[in-house]
Amino acid sequence: MSISWVTVPTPLPSGPLRLAVTEQGVAAVSYHGDAIGGVPGRVGTPECADESRAGLVKARLAEYFDGQRTELGLPIDWRFTTGPHRTVLQTLTAQAGYGQTLTYGELGARSGVFEDFTDGGWTAARTVGKMMGANPLCLLVPCHRVVASDGIGGFGGGPRGLEIKRWLLTLEGVLPPTLDWNGPG
């Protein structure tokens, strides 16, 4: 199955998103345009020539960023996830809708992956944090909705990553807009 890329302009602090698409759906997303989930970045990977597939991705994301869509409803190709990681990501997708958050520990407990741990959830929460950092389907599998028990938590990409997480949580109404908010409404 071949992979091609769709580039979508966004109002995010990171700029455009790059999405790897296949015949099955979106296989990977990058806020930073770099290689993700084992998928090569720009070099040697063609832009998506299927206008219906690329158009759907661009339209759904534009509606989301304009505040008009709460469910992206894009098909997902799970090929870059396996085992417990996939289970946790699928649990997140099913249980944290638009405008909702879960803590790392809650997600670990709900996934059922960490039932053998007896340390009060500490190891599960840390492991879930690492899994979120390795999420190849960010935004579609909304790792920005996973927060620490005592605050916003982390997000891949360092300080720019936290700006993205705050922006997305503000868009979804979890956080109040700041004076420099550049989102819809």
For 40, the token pair is 């090569």
The answer to whether the CB of 124 falls within 8 A of the CB of 109 is yes
Active site residue 48: no
**N- to C-terminal Cα distance for the chain?**
40
Give the separation between CA 15 and CA 139, rounded to whole angstroms. Answer: 14
Give the separation between CA 23 and CA 49, rounded to whole angstroms. Answer: 12
Q: Beta 102-103 vs 146-147: how paired, if at all?
A: parallel
Give the separation between CA 28 and CA 37, rounded to whole angstroms. Answer: 7
Choose the catalytic residue: 128, 143, 168, 169. Answer: 143
Q: Which residues are catalytic?
A: 143
